[in-house]
Amino acid sequence: MSSGRGPWRALTTVAAFFGFGLLYVPLLAVAMYSFNTAERGLIWTGFSVRWYIELLADPETSRRAREIREVAVNTLVLGGASTVISTVLGTLLALGMRFPWPSSVSRLLESIVDIPAVAPDITFAAVLVMAFNVLRRVVDHWFEPGMTTMIISHVTFEIAFVTLIVRSRLVAIGPTLSEAAMDLYASPWRHFRRVTLPLLWPAIVGGAMLAFTLSLNDFVISFFTSGPRSVTLPLYVYQSQMRGVRTDLFAISTLLLIGVAASIMILERLTRWRHN
């Protein structure tokens, strides 16, 4: 038995290191080149923290710092607002799908939730553009391309992912605890607050983290629904890269990666604390 496990263990170890390499070597390369003295290109000319200093410079005196601050604020506002809205709506939708619907209705709801998660981004973006065009003519000018339309667009596809995560947690929990709480005459609100919500907390946090990450990474839908004053980091990087590889973009990406990693670690600790 032990002789057969040796090659298998070695193979899985090599595969694991290869997978981690594919994930993190490009990120490490970006972080390394963010300390390059060259302003453009991928040729290493020396070590410098110049680009980080420029990013943290006074926006009143540095045009580049002012642009970065504006882009960072837009990105965080878009990600935060869409995450909060999609997490609340996605959780409520998952709870609503738990009701004893007829089988045909249940299958229809599952299909409706799955479509935004699997639909190509370009198709989804084109549909949103047409929808906003109609709403601008029929309803109001609030649907002009800008932060409002971007938040709505991000919420529409983030809800699906939050719902899928929370619903899978509900299926894993099962109806036993809910039935026991109702047998003990717990009110619906008390049952939700003391039984359902604590058990769903890890899934809700996980869904929110995924929604925020999807919002930060999204380019196609943001590109189709953004306005001149609602440029986010992916759009800024794309527009800047069209004029050549800039080293300060590596610094921006590195800071963003550090921020996302720190947020994930904090949320993970909060989830463990809440779960315990």
Q: In the chain, what percentage of residues exceed pLDDT 90? A: 11
Q: Write out pLDDT tens, residues 161-211.
A: 999 998 888 887 776 666 676 666 666 667 676 777 777 888 888 888 889
How far is residue 75's CA from residue 217's CA, in Å, rounded to a whole number? Answer: 10
User: What are the angstrom distances between the C-alpha of 27 and each of 22, 72, 193?
Assistant: 9, 20, 41
Q: Where are the domains of the chain?
A: 57-275
Tokens 């080149």 sit on residue: 33
Average of pLDDT values for 224-247? 81
- Other C-beta atoms within 10 Å of 228: how many? 7
CA atoms lying within 13 Å on the CB side of residue 45? 10
In terms of average pLDDT, the best of 52-56, 239-243, 267-271 is: 52-56
For residues 244 and 42, the answer to whether their CB atoms sit within 8 Å is no
Q: In the chain, what percentage of residues exceed pLDDT 70? A: 84
For residues 211 and 163, the answer to whether their CB atoms sit within 8 Å is no
Buried b (16+ CB within 10 A) or exposed e, 193-223: eebbeeebebbbbbbbbbbbbbbbebeebbb
Q: Please, is 165 exposed, middle or buried when counting C-beta atoms within 10 Å of its C-beta (0-12, 13-18, 19+)?
A: buried
Mean residue pLDDT across the chain? 81
Q: Write out pLDDT tens, residues 14-69.
A: 888 888 888 888 888 888 888 888 877 677 888 888 888 877 776 666 677 777 78
What's the pLDDT band for 4 if we cut at 50, 70, 90?
low
Homologous superfamily assigned to 57-275:
MetI-like (1.10.3720.10)
What's the pLDDT band for 266 if we cut at 50, 70, 90?
confident
Model pLDDT, residue 175: 67
Model pLDDT, residue 1: 47
Which pairs count as long-range contacts for 95-99, CB under 8 Å and 24+ apart, including other chains? Answer: 95/166, 95/170, 95/196, 97/163, 97/167, 98/167, 98/170
Q: DSSP for 208-276, please give it.
A: HHHHHHHHHH--HHHHHH--TT---HHHHHHHHHTT--BHHHHHHHHHHHHHHHHHHHHHHHHHHHHH-
Structure token pair of residue 132:
């906003």
The predicted model scores a pTM of: 0.79
Of 79, 94, 71, 243, the residue nearest 164 (C-alpha): 94
For the chain, first and last CA: distance in Å? 39
Between 231 and 63, the more confident residue is: 231
How far is residue 175's CA from residue 189's CA, in Å, rounded to a whole number? Answer: 16
Q: Please, is 23 exposed, middle or buried when counting C-beta atoms within 10 Å of its C-beta (0-12, 13-18, 19+)?
A: exposed
Average of pLDDT values for 91-101? 83
Average of pLDDT values for 216-234? 87
Name the amino acid, one letter, at 199.
L
CA-based radius of gyration for the chain: 23
Model pLDDT, residue 81: 94
Tokens 């949103």 sit on residue: 128
Q: At what angle do helices 147-173 and 103-118 cross, to 10 degrees?
A: 130
Sign of CA dihedral 238, 240, 246, 249: negative
Separation of CA 254 from chain center: 17
